[in-house]
Each structure stands twice: as C-alpha cells, then as structure tokens.
Amino acid sequence: MNILEQRVLRGPNLYSTQPCILTVLDLQELRELRSSGIAGFNQRLLDILPSLQEDRGPAGQYGGFARALREGTNLAHVVEHVALALQCLAGTPVGAGRTREAGHDGGRYRVVCEYALEQLGVDAIELAIALVRALAGADREQPDGAAAALLAPGGALEDGLAALRETARRQAIGTSTGAILKAAARRGIPFTRLTPEANLFVLGWGARQKRLQASITGDTGHIAVGIAADKALTKALLREAGVPVPEGTTVRSLEQAQRAALALGGQVTVKPLDGNHGRGVTTRCGAPDEVALAFERAREHGRTIIVERYIRGDDYRVLVAGGRVVAAALRRPAGVAGDGVSTVRELIDRENANPARGAGHSNILTRIALDGHAETTLAEQGLTLDSVAAAGRRVLLRGNANLSSGGTAEDVTDRVPPSTLAMCVRAVRKIGLDVAGIDLVCEDIGVPLDGRNGAVIEINAAPGLRMHEYPSAGTPRDAGAAIVDAMFGAGDGRIPVIAVGGASGTTATTLMIGRALRQAGIGTGCATSEGVSINGEAIAPGDRGGYRAARSVLAAPEVEFAVLETARGDILRHGLAFDRCDVALLLNIGDHHPAEDGVGAGMLDELAPEEAAMGVMAVVAWTAARALVLDAGDQRCVAVGAGVDPAVELVYFSGEARHPVLAAHLARGGRAAWLEHGALMLADGKARHRLLEADAIPGAPDRRHIAHAPAAAAALMAAGLDPAMIAAGLRSFVPDARRDPPRAGVRQAGAAMPA
C-alpha cells in the first residue's frame, strides 16, 4: 500500500465544501483483498478502535461501516475510517470522508478525509495506513510479527497516537477562543488562524476584518490592557469613577506588607500587582505569619505586591462586551464533598477524573492542583490531604474562586440589579476596554452595590468565557456570540467578492473588472495568474494565481472589494480560498486535462475531459451567493448554471445579440450584457442601456478586449454597480504596468469578435 499523491484542500473543492485531505492510494499487493477475506482482520481492528462499530457506512446508517467490514470492503475504505477515528481519539472530532476507485486499472483509490488540524490529519492518515497494512499481513515474511510490533505496548501505534495527541494539544484552540469562533461560524463570518500553533485569528476579510487573540479583540486598546494589568492604577481610576473598591496599598518588602496589614486592621488579601488567573492570591490573612506566607507566594508572580482589605462575601464575575453586561456568574472555590470514607487526596483524584476537567483551559473545568495553596487552605480547616472528611462536609482547596484553579460557576445574570449593571459598564468604560471581566465580591449580587456591602476587586482584559458558556448550574450564556456582536454588529465581516473562472480570458477579464471598481472609488484587490495588486499597486508580481494569491487579497486590510481569478489546477491542488463569493463569473469551459495543471494521476482520470472541466468550474459556481454570470454561447456553462441554487440569480453575457439562450433569458426579464451593432448593451431587468460603443473600449482596433467587455459588464452589474460607473470603468481600462499592474501587456486574450 503506497501513497501516490496527497493534497491538503483547505477550501471548497471537488469532493467537499469543507477542508479535507485527498490521498490517492495504490493498494499494490493488497488490491485483491477484502476485509472479510483476511482472517481475524475485522475483529482485531474493532478491538483496537471500538468506535468504528458506530461509524456510518456508505448508506449513511449508524453501524454501516462494521456491516461493510463483515460483508467485505476494500482496504482503502478501511484506511479512511481508521484515519477519522484516530483524529477523534487525538481529541479533534471529525467524521466526513469518502473513498472512490481512481481510474480503470484497479487497486488505486481516492481517499478523502475531513480534518480539524492539518498536520494531525496528515499524520493520522499515515498511521492508519501502517495499522491497516499490519493487520492485513502485508509483511509477507512476518505477517503476525508486523502486527505484534505495531500493537505492542510502546509500539508504533501507541507512539503514533501519543504523537497525534501531542499535536492536538499544541495546536488546540482554547475554550474561550473556541466559543467566539463557533459564534462567528454560526453568523457566517469567515476566520483564519495565522499559524497552526498561534492563538491569533483574523475574522472577516479585507477592510472588514477583525483580529482576535483569546478574548482580546483588535479593538482592545493596548493602554487599556496595561491599565487593567496594574491593579493599583485600576483601583485609582475606578475610585475616581465612583466605583467601590477595597482600601489598600502596594508594597515591595515583607515588612511593608505586615505594616500595611496592621494598618488596615482585620483580615487582608495579598496578591501580585500584575497577576492573573488567581495566581499568587491569598485571602483572609490576619496574623503576621499568615501575611508572610501570603507575601512569599505573591512574590513568585511579581515584585510589587498589593495588600488590601479583605471583602467578605461571595466571588462574582461580570462579563461586559460592547457596552453592556453580557453575563454574570457566582464563582465557587475548588473543593470536594466528604463521604466519611475517602481521604481528601482520593476525593480530589476522583473529581479530577471528571471528563469535564482538563489541564489549564483545555476543557470546561480545570483540574484541581495538589500544591502548597491546597495544603494551606486545608490546614485552615484543620485538615490534610490524608484526612477523611465527614460525609457531606464541603472541603475547600483554594481561597480564590478562579476557574483556572479548579473552581466552578453558577449563572446569576438575571439577579443583577440595574444599578449594578450600569456601574459595571461604567467601570469598564473608565478603563477603556471593549471586552472585560469584572471581579466583584459581595454578600448578595441581587442587592445594589453601594460600597458597604461589597466592592469591585479587579478588571480583567482577556476574560475567560468558560464559566458563562458552561456553568455548573444556572442558564448557559452565549458569551461568544455577544463578543462577536460587539465586534461586527449586524455585519458578517465579508467584503464583496467576484470570482472569475474559465479556460481562457480570465486574467484580462479580472483586471478589467478591477479597473472599473477602482475607477468607481472602491478599494480593490485583484489576484490573477500574473500577480497580486492592491488599489493598483503590484504587491506580488509573478505567477500568483489561485489559493495563495486570493488569500493575500482577502487578508489585505485596505481592500473593500476583491476580484479573484480562479485557476483550475489550483482548485484541484488546494481548493478555493473562499467559502462564498457574491458573484461567480464563468467565461468558458474547455476540456480539462489534469496534467496541464500539474495534477497527477488518480485525481480525475476516470472522468472524461468535458466532465472534469465542468466539475472543476462547478466548484466556483456553487460558491456564488448572489449571482452566477455565464456565457450564453457555451453549452457547458449553461449546464453548470442549471445546477446551482435557484436563489442565485443567473446573468448572461454574449457576443451574439441573437443567441437563443440570451434571447430567452431577456424575454423572461433576466439581466445580461451583449454586443450588438458595434455597441456594448446592458439589460438590468427594467431597461436596456447602450452602455458604450465598442470602439471606445481600449484596445478595440485590434479587438483584444472587446470579447471580455460583456463578461466584465455583466459581473459588475450583478455586483451592484450602476451602468454609468460600469461604462466609465471600462473606458478607463488600459492594460499597462502604470494603470493595471502587475500586467505590463496582455498576453492572454479572448477570441476576437468578427468584423
């Protein structure tokens, strides 16, 4: 079994609208084998991966794959399901896949697998191949030995799974970030991760894009984040705004800390000036030795320490986004309930085995740490880790209630009175943050906060969302959606996109459309096979058509409108760079020969050239959300148009005024552009316009661009430009390096119109 070719398809493609990995497998000596004909194969496979019992089969029924195994299926199909199962075991749930025979020689298959993390998906396929080979006895000299070596403790399968899990851990998206991204996806907002391991994302395209890191947005001010990190400065500003805060001071030595605690009287809280996630925070300190221990813990996280009056009450977190309170939660410190039998250590181990708990922020809750903080908190209750707590007794393991130290939360949003809501919004506005988490302590969140019954303790930039999205009690709040609303309002972060596809003429037509948009005063990015230009400036000359060029345009913050040439071969190699465009323009569809586009055997070789060409161009057509513009004189284009969503408008162009497809379309009141009696005509559904004389199109004397003008005009009309703007833009198109970079001279021209 050998991989002939493998492609990571990051956007819509021939096989899926979602990112997937296409692997062309040659089964070689295993081509004649079926799963039912290999002794012990099915049972061993299901013993190793029990989840395969529930996998859907070709008919889409649960358990269908196990049935296919029993009836006998090819081993490429088995590789598909094993690769998906391995990704799930690594912690990235995926489920979509398909396997089809490639070509007519037999033994070669196209295996398509969904992926969530690209590298993990590729590695899972390799491990799946190794597992299937071993179980099938592909090692003819030692068929059982190969399987034993793979499956032995510490063997290749165990090591491979560990490597997959490590990749998933390194590239995992945090729970809070994930909540925002899921909300963005529900809104149809596109997003991109800048690198596989970076927690930095770009939501939206072009001039409407926003950046996101954890729950910090691109609108979050650097100065405001700095203020929030300085707890003393935050308290000073809040006090100035009339927000109740605890009395306290900053210190840098133990002696200063003990004097400050004595001056405040009663119990105090000791914490680092710029700490977070409850690290180094000790509450309810009174005696000098307690202050000394708290000071040393705080010094592990910063040199400057805050000593402030301890506020009695419960710990609450209020989330503010977009100038309103989104959610409020009562936070409870990490703890366990005694059962009269188990030690505290055993109770903690049992609680940490809860599937909802994980390391750090990787899960809904965080595992409880057995550390010095836990031992000190236990000692305050007269307990140790080896104590047996009475049945029903609540044993606390932390003085603070942060979820990051193992705490839990209960939603209390509906209990917060209007005056407290207004105070929280005022506090966040004073600091200057767009998204913030307010830590406040009070005895009853339902009573207005007046300074005597509680206080605001901190304002946090990059607040965690887990407690609001997944509270242990109360109503879950869609905090991610609230932040997306604050970032985008009612918008979807998208800029208008025209995608241009075809066998010829695509570069010239793309540049013509781009020029017309710039002439209309719209910030325009163009991606063609000859380079990338932003607002008329070449930023990446050379062969830059396809996925990477389109991504460059969509990522440019100055672009208000994108015009993207889509190359056939690049669609096969990478998929499209966008999930949706406003207008798709198909100029023509010629026969498709994969080798011409640098695509190897096995990709499309069972299809006739005509079917292959139509299939590739249909990928572009299916992304159109507003309109699909087609050549009325190309039967293949017309056929593709018949298969799109009826909600997508069909707009035609033609070089022949009397073409029957065009005539029928116009008779139905459809929109179109065509050449007639030496003029470019436009029908907008209400009236017909003589847009401009053909001789007015630059390059008209040698007929180089007249053929492209109807297509460009139709696409611009479908995108919303009025006839006057279209005419002005087409008149201004001059294909030279000065006015339409990166092309210095048009080398790709459409068919010349008859004289």
pLDDT of 409-440, one tens digit each?
999 999 999 999 999 999 999 999 999 999 99
Contact 398, 406 (CB under 8 A): yes
Q: Give the model's confidence band at 582: pLDDT under 50 very low, under 70 low, under 90 confident, else very high.
A: very high
Question: 487: pLDDT confidence band, cut at 50, 70 and 90?
Answer: very high
Residue type, 180: I
Average pLDDT on 258-267 reads 91
Looking at the 3D structure of the chain, how many domains does it have? 3
- When mean pLDDT is compared over 24-33, 103-112, 141-150, 476-485, the highest value belongs to 476-485
User: 633 and 545 in one domain?
Assistant: yes
Helix (H/G/I), strand (E/B), else coil: 289: helix
Q: Indicate whether 747 pLDDT > 70.
A: no
101, part of any domain: yes
Q: Domain boundary at 309, 340, 362, which?
A: 309
Report pLDDT digits (tens) over 115-131: 999 999 999 999 999 99
d(CA 18, CA 354): 33
CB proximity list for 74: less than 8 A, separation 6 or greater: 27, 33, 34, 35, 99, 109
268 and 163 within one domain: no
The whole-number average pLDDT for the span 197-214 is: 95
Q: What is the DSSP pairing of strand 524-528 with strand 531-534? A: antiparallel
- Under DSSP, is residue 642 helix (H, G, I), strand (E, B) or coil? coil
Determine the Cα–Cα distance for residues 682 and 701; give it in Å rounded to an integer.
Answer: 22
Mean pLDDT rounded to a whole number for the chain: 89
| Residue 202 forms part of a structural domain | no
Does position 596 have pLDDT exceeding 80, yes or no? no
Determine, yes or no, domain membership for 514. Answer: yes
Write down which residue in 144, 170, 196 finishes a domain.
170
The pLDDT > 70 percentage for the chain reads 92
| Residue 338 vs residue 736, higher pLDDT | 338
For residue 751, the model assigns a pLDDT of 35
Q: Is residue 750 pLDDT above 60, yes or no?
A: no
Under the banding of pLDDT at 50, 70 and 90, the label for residue 749 is: very low
CA distance 564 to 552: 11
Does residue 178 have a pLDDT over 50?
A: yes
pLDDT at 380: 87
Mean pLDDT of 603-611: 59
Instruction: With H, G, I as helix, E, B as strand and everything else as coil, classify residue 673.
Output: strand
**CATH number of the domain bearing residue 282:** 3.30.1490.20
Query: Is 661 found in the same domain as 568?
Result: yes
What is d(CA 9, CA 18) in angstroms, rounded to the nearest whole number?
8
Q: Decide: residue 43, CB within 10 A, 0-12 exposed, 13-18 middle, 19+ buried.
A: exposed
Q: Last residue of some domain: 282, 309, 336?
A: 309
Domain-located, residue 633? yes
pLDDT at 142 over 90: no
Q: How confident is the model at residue 590 (pLDDT cuts 50, 70, 90)?
A: confident
Mean pLDDT of all residues in 44-68: 87
Give 370's pLDDT tier (boundaries 50, 70, 90): confident
pLDDT at position 99 over 90: yes
Same domain, 123 and 11: yes
At 624, which helix (H) or strand (E)?
Answer: strand 624-631
What percent of the chain is predicted at pLDDT more than 90?
A: 71
- What is the distance between the alpha carbons of residues 36 and 517, in angstroms, rounded to a whole number? 61
pLDDT tens by residue, 157-175 = 999 999 999 999 999 998 8
Q: Indicate the SS3 state at residue 29.
A: helix
DSSP secondary structure letters along 457-514: EEEESS---HHHHS-SBS----HHHHHHHHHHTT--SPPPEEEEE-SSSHHHHHHHHH
Note the helical H segments in 218-360: 222-229, 231-240, 254-264, 288-299, 344-352
For the entire predicted model, the pTM comes to 0.87
Within this chain, do residues 261 and 145 fall inside the same structural domain, yes or no? no
Task: Give domain status of residue 92, yes or no.
Answer: yes
Q: Which residues contact 252 (CB under 8 A, 6 or more apart)?
A: 303, 304, 305
- In this structure, the answer to whether residues 689 and 564 fall within a common structural domain is yes
Binned at pLDDT 50, 70 and 90, residue 741 comes out as low
Mean of the pLDDT values across residues 597-609?
Answer: 53
pLDDT computed for residue 59 by the predictor: 66
**Same domain membership, residue 728 and residue 582:** yes
Q: For residue 689, which phi and psi values (nearest 5 degrees)?
A: -120, 135
pLDDT of residue 612: 73
Instruction: Note the pLDDT tens digit of each residue in 268-317.
Output: 999 998 877 778 888 888 899 999 999 999 999 989 999 999 999 999 99
- Say what the pLDDT of residue 543 is: 59
For residues 698 and 575, membership in a common domain is answered with yes
Structural domain contains residue 394: no
- The DSSP 8-state label assigned to residue 343 in this structure reads B
Lowest mean pLDDT among 207-216, 416-425, 732-741: 732-741
Can you read off the two tokens belonging to residue 415? 């209990």
Q: Is 544 found in the same domain as 693?
A: yes
Buried b (16+ CB within 10 A) or exposed e, 249-284: bbbeeeeebbbbbeebeebbbbbbbbbbbbbbbbbe
Interstrand relation of 335-337 and 581-586 (parallel, antiparallel or unpaired): unpaired
Q: For 60-74, 600-614, 615-629, 637-651, which range has the lowest pLDDT when averaged over its residues?
A: 600-614
pLDDT of residue 33: 93
Q: Judge if 712 and 623 occupy the same domain.
A: yes
pLDDT at position 744 is 43
State the CATH number of the domain containing residue 556.
3.40.1190.10
Model confidence band, residue 605 (pLDDT cutoffs 50, 70, 90): low
- pLDDT tens digits, residue range 687-724? 999 999 988 887 655 466 788 999 999 999 999 999 99
Residue 86: enclosing H or E segment and its boundaries?
Answer: helix 75-89
Radius of gyration of the chain (CA): 32
Determine, yes or no, domain membership for 419: no
pLDDT at position 738: 47
pLDDT tops 80 at residue 755: no
Its domain, for residue 670, covers 497-732
- Do 152 and 267 reside in the same domain of the chain? no
State pLDDT tens for residues 503-562: 899 999 999 999 999 999 999 999 998 899 999 999 887 655 689 999 999 999 999 999
Considering the domain boundaries, does residue 546 fall inside one? yes
Residues 287, 165 share a domain: no
Which range has the worst mean pLDDT, 70-74, 93-97, 390-394, 748-752? 748-752
